Homo-oligomer: A and B are copies of this chain.
Amino acid sequence: MDKVIAHIDANKERYQKELFELLRIPSISADPDRAGDIRKAAEWTRDKLTAMGCEARLEETGGHPVVYGEWLKAEGKPTVLFYGHYDVQPPDPLDLWETPPFEPTVRGDNVFARGSADDKGQFLANVLGIEAFMQADGGPPCNVKFIIEGEEEVTSHNLEKWVGAHTDLLKCDHIVISDSAQFARGYPAICYGLRGICYMEVFLKGPAMDLHSGEFGGAVTNPCNALARIIAQLHDPETGKITIPGIYDDVVELTKEEREEFAKLPFDEPGYKKHLGVDALPGEQGFSVLERVWTRPTCDVNGITGGYTGKGAKTVIASEASAKISMRLVPNQDPDKIQQAFEDYIRTLCPPGVTVRFENHGKAKPALVPTDSPALSIARNALEKGFGNKTVLMRGGGSIPVVETFQDKLGVGSLLVGYGLPDDNLHSPNEKFSLEDYHRGIKTAAYLVDELAKAS
């Protein structure tokens, strides 16, 4: 291992150069006009894998291609599958970026660019950790496979099918995903739980046309007011609990040990509030902020619109109002069951004079990895070596749908080894990634395959 680590240290500058090359490609999966850039990023990734010695190719999926690569010359050794994504979120609003999103710029220890942390910098760290073995030691001590997809930011809708159709190709012993974050600077973390999601849109239809609010105000049910009342009734104002009947039925409650572990984490509540610019963090009673974000379901409006939203005044009663409402789900909630409970409950809340219809915009199951598995311990150790700090166990509030897909189709749980930081501005302007953590991530990937091979 020493020569591998020395090789990594000797190539620091080249690693940055390669990351910047990839960050310059605006591979925005949500934007149809960027299809060319998406393919460019896929080809860049394939060529990188090929150049370092993998067999690599683009796999067409009906959407953006999956980059698949493999190196299977470690006979009798376990196979580690690394997952990542080369697509990025749209950079809007552009005027809030201090430097252009696709011109990687170093300030302090960080590179600022869209996709730097999510997920180009993180998946590339894993690729380069394997490359170091190839260049310094003739090859890694494990077999490795890579799936780097191009639709993660648009809910990976073609990946599940592709994985299902390629279960033999993807056979593996371990899955490593680096698309999450450390708990805080100096606290590298393994994420062992993720929330799922059920994302709904509710449309309330009242009068057949927009009405003059003077001529008709008082006569009709106003869809905007009615929608507000429905949303208000989704939570109990006293306890902060969601009121959808049955929503907590399947929730796995936290163990005493988990609560104690979470309480030990150095969560900086004043700093967190300051970062968010809020003076209070209210929420479900009886749970800490971390417990709420990691282990409790939510019911958040993600968007609402109705009536006149331009400048000044228009005296109108809207014909229709709508809200996008997503529920984050926790182990052991089932998105289909929750969707049904949500729709049933809202139908009971819908007042006379309006009608309701629904659309679903996506569902993902929550994920929970056993914290006592040998692989998890190995990943903890590797991360500790790579980062030089004790690893903590945490959960995440977001969803990585592919975790559930892998569990379901391949029968393998994922190790979520995150190299980012919680303030990396994912999906926001001025996304960043620590270049030191990038380097530590490369080392972590090397230690990880080394230890997994040793344990086999």
Contact = CB atoms under 8 A, between A and B. Distances in A.
A221 B292 CA distance: 12
Most-contacted residue by chain B among A298, A301, A398 (CB, 10 A)? A301
A21 B323 CA distance: 44
A20 to B, nearest CB: 25
Interface string A267-288: 0000010001111111110000
A379 B397 CA distance: 70
24 contacts: A208-B276, A209-B429, A210-B428, A212-B426, A213-B298, A214-B328, A217-B293, A218-B284, A218-B397, A221-B280, A221-B282, A224-B323, A225-B300, A280-B353, A282-B351, A302-B313, A303-B314, A304-B309, A307-B324, A308-B324, A312-B361, A313-B324, A313-B361, A316-B427
A233 B324 CA distance: 21
Contacts of A235: 225, 229
A296 interface: yes
A216 interface: yes
Nearest 8 Cβ contacts at the A-B interface: A214-B398, A208-B277, A232-B232, A228-B231, A224-B301, A280-B352, A303-B307, A313-B361
A303 B306 contact: yes
Nearest to A301: B224
Most-contacted residue by chain B among A197, A218, A233, A280 (CB, 10 A)? A218
A314 B292 contact: no
Given A217-B298, A309-B324, 16 more contacts: A96-B209, A155-B313, A207-B277, A214-B396, A217-B300, A219-B272, A221-B282, A225-B231, A228-B323, A229-B237, A279-B352, A282-B351, A282-B352, A303-B308, A308-B324, A313-B361
Interface in A313-366: 313-318, 321, 323-324, 326, 328, 351-354, 361-362
Contacts of A362: 313
A289 interface: yes
A317 B292 contact: no
Query: DSSP class of A's interface residues: helix, strand, loop or mixed?
Result: loop
Nearest to A209: B428
A428 B212 CA distance: 8
A362 B227 CA distance: 25
A106 B426 CA distance: 58
A399 interface: yes
A428 B211 CA distance: 7
Contacts of A114: none
Contact of A301 (B211, B215, B307, B361): B307
Contacts of A307: 301-304, 324
A47 B232 CA distance: 56
A71 interface: no
Nearest to A222: B300
Interface string A110-143: 0000000000000000000000000000000000
A195 interface: yes
Interface in A415-433: 422, 426-429
